[in-house]
Amino acid sequence: MSATRPRVLVPGLIPRDPSRETYRVRPGAQVILALEPGDQVVVRDVHGAQSAAAASSELGISADLFGPESAPGAEERFDADRRAALTVSAPPEATPVVEGGVPASDLLVEVLRATPREDGEPVLPQPLAEPRLDFEVPRASALAYEVKAGEYIQVIDVRGRQCSDLLAFHWGKLQDGNERGLDSTTTHSLMGNAYPQPGLYGKFYDQDQEPLVEVVRDTVGRHDTFGLACYAKYYEDLGYFGHVNCTDNFNTELLPYTIAPRKGWPALNLFYNTSFDSDNLLISDEPWSRPGDYVLFRAMTDLVCLSSACPDDIDPANAWNPTEIHVRVYPAKERFTTAIAHRVTPDAEPKLTKDTGFRPRTGDLTGRFTDFNGYWLPTAYDNHGAVDEYWACRERAAMMDLSPLRKWEVLGPDAEELLQSTMTRDIRRLADGQVVYTAVCNDTGGMIDDGTVFRLQATNFRFVGGSEWDGVWLREQAECRGLHVWIKESTDELHNVAVQGPASRDLLTPLIWTAPTQTPFTELGWFRFSVARLGGPQGLPLIVSRTGYTGELGYELFCHPKDAPALWDAVMDAGDVTPLGLEALDMLRIESGLVFAGAEFDDQVDPFEAGIGFTVPKAKEDDYVGKEALAERREHPQRRLVGLELEGNEPAAHGECVHVDRHQVGVITSGMRSPILKKNIALCRMNVRYAEEGTEVEVGKLDGFQKRIPATVVRFPFYDPDKTRPRS
């Protein structure tokens, strides 16, 4: 082991360097830096091909930086020989991606200070708005504060990995002599989950089933809910008598409110990291929160609230080092988007859940949204529901928002080589205007993702996958191979809907115009695409591909987000088309034997086990990541994806075991009640010895032994197994 390698890796916390400051400049934004003599500024084009500008009248700088040929990681340096202000800006995209433009990307600006700044007070994140209350909870203490209905409470972990307990009491009931605070049993029962999160199921209730607070934003996503705030007996039982604790701190703060003290207060233990393991034992480890992480609540009524900065220094609850907590309360007039933070790597900047370009239309049709891959998507629509939406797709036409699919522009002279060396399919055989479905594997043959590759031109490709990690991995592969290629994310420049169903071609034919240089819409073959316009040669630009995720004839339409409402309106006005949400989409894809990340595959499952072995052609001569491992797995298969048909009316669920007698031989990856087949069906990853059609097995419910459902291995896809409908 290297002498410089740390014994414990904690990537989420980056040690603060008082001589170094970093700023990320997003497209269309700028940063203004105050410099002192001797300071140095490094401007980095993180992903390449991004224009930038730097200007300082004091330093005599007015420079255009980088541009369409700049390599990923290209740098420009500036030295300050006097006190000065330097502005660094990143222009937005000039030409939309759908019209052939290159996506804009971030700049990274580093300031290396000649005189390190004092490493005193921590740098708090900027307020979300003008706060009404703005105060620190010192380490090992607690504070009470009053909040009005509709106001927002932001609890901030200042230095990272610090637990903060939150109590809330109904103010009006306290005035009547009734103590009503956050209640765990009521909340769990009404919300149906252990950790309420932003969205439909994000409220916390009192014993009277009245909501007290609603979580609006959460940049951590991992908390302990309603465990006791630390209490004297906990420390006493471990031999630490008289240790300061959150419960006693709360009792002191609650004295003015005539709330009786307790030996232990159940609380929302924000940032704390506990869980129950497979043996139902309560375990804990360091919190996941990073400096500046926060949880934002909205008060549903007038409240008395208390927040603590936990004093626990004898276990990992606060990473062994208790620090302070900061609280801000914002007026009810403010409006904050509902969001959960996502990080592609533990040390990456958090990205809050976004709306897609179609939200102005889908939001008018339903309030049932869920965070899907970092965007809010409808689960089902009002006056329809999953079953109705399902039948619309099977019998007529349906439209769904699939904008969260990650899109990556792979550009440059080595673009084909990069994709050929990282995808299982033979990318060299891909023609302009063609799409291919492929697996992306690691060196053990496990699947990183699946996705589609579009070939726009000889050196221009687009990869559409499900994970933001795909882009990080492609860039790593390009760098280690020394390839001349740019990988630019275009997810936020290309939002898309899928229009699927037997009537989809007739529905879209009057809408889609293609130039003579493109394949006419009505002639598009399966897995082909055209650059098109909506309504005519001056209409909004589109990419139209004959692809989908439903097992029906269908198309995907890609546009710039600003054009999304107009595209939605045009399709909805064109005929009998039904909006379709995620619940119906899951039914459609299971029936059609289409795989989903986290269900049918992960990085321990190869394409053969995931049921998409056809994406690994034997004839591909060129080497690619995982080729050797996949060749071995092909010759020595252990598991296979099969279809199951269950007896009775009780469906199988993901993760349930499949048995022959005492022994487990498989696991359910996805299950459903098929409306069109009138049967319960499931996809199952099965030991190859029991994978032949007609094999009788049993799906284990409860513990796998107390209750079982007889099932039989059948051919899949269950619906249209020869795929005649999407080919029609």
3-state per-residue secondary structure call for 144-158: EEEECCCCEEEEEEC
Q: What is the pLDDT of residues 168-191, one digit of tens each?
A: 999 999 999 999 999 999 999 999
- Rounded Cα gap, residues 109 and 524, in angstroms: 46
Note the pLDDT of residue 121. 65
Q: 278-317 burial, b if ≥16 CB within 10 A, otherwise e? A: eeeeeebebbbbbbbbbbbbbbbbbbbbbbbbbbbbeeeb
Between 310 and 101, the more confident residue is 310
Which two structure tokens, joined as six digits, stand for 268? 């929302």
- Rounded Cα gap, residues 541 and 457, in angstroms: 18
**Run of H or E including 112:** strand 107-112
Contact (Cβ atoms closer than 8 angstroms) between residue 450 and residue 465 = yes
Number of helical (H) and strand (E) elements in the chain, helices listed first: 13, 44
pLDDT surpasses 90 at 193 = no
Q: What is the pLDDT of residues 656-678, one digit of tens each?
A: 999 999 999 999 999 999 999 99
Residue ranges covered by each domain of the chain: 20-112, 133-335, 354-404+494-588, 406-491
High-pLDDT (> 90) share of the chain, % = 90
Say how many residues make up the chain. 728
Residue 724, C-beta contacts closer than 8 angstroms, at least 6 positions apart: none
CA neighbours within 13 Å on the CB side: how many for 398?
A: 30
How do 273-276 and 141-147 pair as beta strands?
A: unpaired
Which two structure tokens, joined as six digits, stand for 564? 């999304």
Mean pLDDT (whole number) for 331-358: 94
Note the pLDDT of residue 284. 87
Q: What is the CATH number of domain 354-404+494-588?
A: 3.30.1360.120
Q: What is the pLDDT of residues 361-417, one digit of tens each?
A: 999 999 999 999 999 999 999 999 999 999 999 999 999 999 999 999 999 999 999
Q: 655-678 burial, b if ≥16 CB within 10 A, otherwise e? A: ebbbbeeeeebbbbbbbbebeeee
Between 727 and 7, the more confident residue is 727
Q: What is the pLDDT of residues 459-505, one digit of tens each?
A: 999 999 999 999 999 999 999 999 999 999 999 999 999 999 999 99
**What is the chain's alpha carbon radius of gyration, rounded to the nearest angstrom?**
28
Contact (Cβ atoms closer than 8 angstroms) between residue 94 and residue 101 = yes
pLDDT surpasses 90 at 347 = no
pLDDT surpasses 80 at 622 = yes
pLDDT surpasses 60 at 517 = yes
pLDDT surpasses 60 at 1 = no
Mean pLDDT (whole number) for 350-365: 97
Range in 109-123, 383-397, 572-586 with the lowest mean pLDDT = 109-123
Note the pLDDT of residue 238. 96
**Run of H or E including 473:** helix 469-481
- Rounded Cα gap, residues 193 and 197, in angstroms: 9
Fold category of 406-491 in CATH: Alpha-Beta Plaits (3.30.70)
Q: Position 448: which residue type? A: I
Mean pLDDT (whole number) for 597-626: 97
pLDDT surpasses 70 at 120 = no
Q: What is the mean pLDDT of the chain?
A: 95
Note the pLDDT of residue 274. 85
CATH class of 20-112: mainly beta
Q: Position 11: which residue type? A: P
Confidence band (pLDDT; 50, 70, 90) for 419? very high
Confidence band (pLDDT; 50, 70, 90) for 119? low
Q: What is the pLDDT of residues 534-574, one digit of tens each?
A: 999 999 999 999 999 999 999 999 999 999 999 999 999 99
Note the pLDDT of residue 605. 98
Mean pLDDT (whole number) for 102-109: 94
